[in-house]
Amino acid sequence: MRRWLTLVLGLVGSPAVAEGEGFEALVGHGGPVMGAAVSADGQAALTASFDNALGLWELSTGAVHWLDGHGAAVKAVAFLPDGRAVSGGDDFMLRLWDLGTGDSAELAGHTAQVKAVAVSPDGALIASASWDRTVGLWDAGTGALLARLEGHDGPVNDVVFADGGRALYSASSDGTVRLWDVETRTERRTVLRHGFGTSELLIDEAGGWLAYGATDGGTRVIDLATDAVLADLTLERRPILAMAASPDGGEIAVGDGEGFVMVVRTGDWRILHDYRATTKGPVWALAYTADGARLLMGGIEDSAYLWPVGETGIGPVMTATDRAFLRDPAEMSNGERQFQRKCSICHSLEADGGRKAGPTLHGVFGRRAGALEGYLYSQTLDGSDIVWTEATIDRLFDLGPDHYIPGSKMPMQRIVRPEDRRDLIDWLKKNT
């Protein structure tokens, strides 16, 4: 681990960590933080973001190296035991990263977003949960797709290995948790049917339990041997979006769509802390540090946060980013409202653009599509003859990006009313 961190730190600038009142903010992403992982030795962390990138952080200094390669939001990330990592995202791809060089290889095989990834205990296998209703099983050494496990009737949201990598649990929007045999690549059985979509999984085989979270806010722990419910931790906050276990198995943390984090002691399943972690928006990512003393957390902010966990509870709420699209619409003109709703999460108006998912709109009028230097465009826009004008921007939102520029990274969306498109264009002319 120290060898590849030394290589990485040779590529980064000044530390990107902001400190205050017992917690740290890992600053630099250009969009919400959707996934997080901490290395087993505690030296490094990975954050996955809506800005299409991964941040690789040295936790002792906050130094960061950006890993670019995904073509859309990155939703999941996990360390491998050999100085590599795997990530998955909305571009339907997994990427296998060499953390020493920053190079990556694309693992293709899914036909919808990849929501979660897991690594077997020996590091030989990778599992992926996809909204194409399948579980992907990959050779971690070669990146080869070994199998797509089919059987779920809805998007698959999470996966965890069991039995030394010989078994695999999966959670799905179809409301089930299923157990798979990795060697035969068949389903052993349906472990439970929740009634609402199951979204998150945690397992502790030494402790004999499997915990799951669901879209209705259900949080339960079941006995691995009998499937009996050991604890019902449901607090009726929905949906459950993140779960993490401390390295010693003594605690679990649960994050939800209403911005709360619940910390639970596994010995007696007592809730130790239950705190609002965000002023607005969900908690999408949770990971304990290697010593179990802090939680790495991500949500709608552009920063990830390391918070101490102890008898006094978790620190201040996440408030770093002023999300303009969460402002009262009455405070904005119609043109600005259209921008905040349709454009602001991906595009900056500043010249440097930041680390946004899309290119900056600074100077967009008169610029050829796909021509901004330094931004990684899709192949569709390479050599495009579209020039951004009032007419082409109007056409873009009239037809929708998926029809006007098929194959581009822009999400499917339209502005149907001509007067709304006109107000947006007028506002952009004044602000870009």
Question: Residue 184: how many CB atoms within 10 A of its CB?
Answer: 10
Tell me which of 2.130.10.10, 2.60.120.260, 3.40.30.10, 3.40.50.300 is the CATH number of domain 2-308: 2.130.10.10
Residue 116, helix vs strand vs coil = strand
* pLDDT for residue 316: 56
Q: Which long-range contacts (CB under 8 A, 24 or more apart) does 363-367 make?
A: 363/432, 364/388, 364/428, 364/432, 365/389, 365/390, 365/428, 365/429, 365/432
For residues 24 and 305, the answer to whether their CB atoms sit within 8 Å is yes
Tokens at 191, concatenated: 């472990």
Least confident range from 17-21, 95-99, 115-119, 259-263: namely 17-21
pLDDT at 382: 75
Question: Mean pLDDT throughout 201-218?
Answer: 97
Mean pLDDT of 104-127: 97
Rounded mean pLDDT, 195-215 = 97
Question: How sure is the predictor about 1, in pLDDT bands with cuts at 50, 70 and 90?
Answer: very low
According to CATH, the topology of domain 324-431 is Cytochrome Bc1 Complex; Chain D, domain 2 (1.10.760)
Domain with CATH 2.130.10.10 in the chain: 2-308
Residues of the chain with CATH 1.10.760.10: 324-431
Amino acid identity of residue 77, one-letter, is: V
Mean pLDDT of 78-106: 97
**CB proximity list for 373: less than 8 A, separation 6 or greater:** none
Place of tokens 């009455």: 330
Q: Which of 14-18, 257-261, 423-427 ranks highest by mean pLDDT?
A: 257-261
All residues at 6 or more sequence positions from 86 whose CB lies less than 8 Å from its CB, including other chains: 77, 78, 80, 94, 95, 96, 97, 107, 117, 119, 126, 140
Q: What is the pLDDT of residue 403?
A: 79
Model pTM score:
0.82
Distance CA 188, CA 203 (A): 17
Q: What is the pLDDT of residues 215-232, one digit of tens each?
A: 999 999 999 999 999 999
Q: Which of 8, 192, 182, 150 is nearest to 83 (CA)?
A: 8
Instruction: Classify the phi-psi angles of 213: left when phi > 0, otherwise alpha if psi is within -120 to 50, otherwise beta.
Output: beta
pLDDT at 153: 97
Confidence band for 279, pLDDT divided at 50, 70 and 90:
confident
Q: Please compute the mean of the pLDDT values over residues 162-182 and round it to a whole number.
A: 98
For residue 280, pLDDT over 90 is answered with no
The residue-averaged pLDDT of 63-78 equals: 95
The number of angstroms, rounded, from the C-alpha of 373 to the middle of its chain's C-alpha atoms is: 27
Distances (CA, A) of 315 to 43, 94, 281, 312: 22, 34, 17, 9
pLDDT band at 381 (very low <50, low <70, confident <90, very high): confident
Is it the case that residue 16 has pLDDT exceeding 80? no
First to last CA, the chain: 44
Q: How far apart are CA 427 and CA 334, in angstroms?
A: 9
Q: Looking at residue 192, what is its pLDDT? A: 96
